[in-house]
């Protein structure tokens, strides 16, 4: 084997080695990124029981501070609106027929649509369903439109 051949082989081994280390680094970074995404969330469930329909008198608006949620029992059924302002995540207050955010003065109408202020989106509406044990279940992962009603 000539000197040149040895040199060439050495370079090839070096190139393969560099490629290997590069690939390993990329894989490691991808794995690290995936590692950072939690698989189990130790936080309140996104789907929860808010009580029996009887706890919400007809025509009432109930604020559930722990769930950051308003539950309405209107003439045509139940619906739930989030109290999280879509601007920067403050709790909106139900005032008169609409909602007001204390942080930057956003105002929403009775359906959670933006009337005034910097909020970019209407308040979220969550699906409500009735469990087999006749409890109201709110699912925060299921966003619905303002026409949603759960007839009791």
Contacting residues toward other proteins, per CB under 8 A: 36-38, 41-44, 46, 65-66, 68, 87-91, 100-105, 118, 120
For other proteins, the closer of residues 73 and 86 by Cβ is: 86
**Cβ neighbours for 89, distance < 8 A, ≥ 6 positions apart:** none
Alpha helices in the chain (DSSP H): 3-36
Nearest distance, CB of residue 137 and other proteins, angstroms: 18
For other proteins, the closer of residues 15 and 88 by Cβ is: 88
Nearest distance, CB of residue 87 and other proteins, angstroms: 6
Nearest distance, CB of residue 103 and other proteins, angstroms: 5
Length of the chain: 152
Burial of 68 (0-12, 13-18, 19+ CB in 10 A): middle
């Amino acid at each position: 084997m000539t000197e040149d051949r040895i040199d060439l082989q050495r370079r090839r081994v070096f190139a393969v080695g560099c490629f290997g280390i590069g690939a390993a680094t990329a894989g490691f970074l991808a794995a690290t990124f995936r590692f950072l995404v939690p698989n189990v969330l130790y936080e309140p469930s996104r789907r929860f029981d808010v009580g029996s329909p009887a706890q919400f008198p007809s025509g009432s608006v109930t604020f559930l501070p722990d769930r950051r949620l308003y539950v309405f029992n209107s003439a045509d059924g139940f619906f739930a609106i989030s109290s999280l302002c879509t601007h920067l995540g403050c709790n909106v207050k139900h005032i008169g027929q609409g909602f007001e955010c204390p942080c930057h003065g956003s105002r929403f109408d009775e359906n959670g649509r933006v009337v005034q202020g910097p909020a970019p989106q209407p308040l979220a509406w969550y699906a409500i369903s009735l469990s087999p044990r006749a409890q109201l279940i709110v699912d925060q992962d299921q966003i619905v439109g303002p026409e949603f009603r759960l007839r009791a």
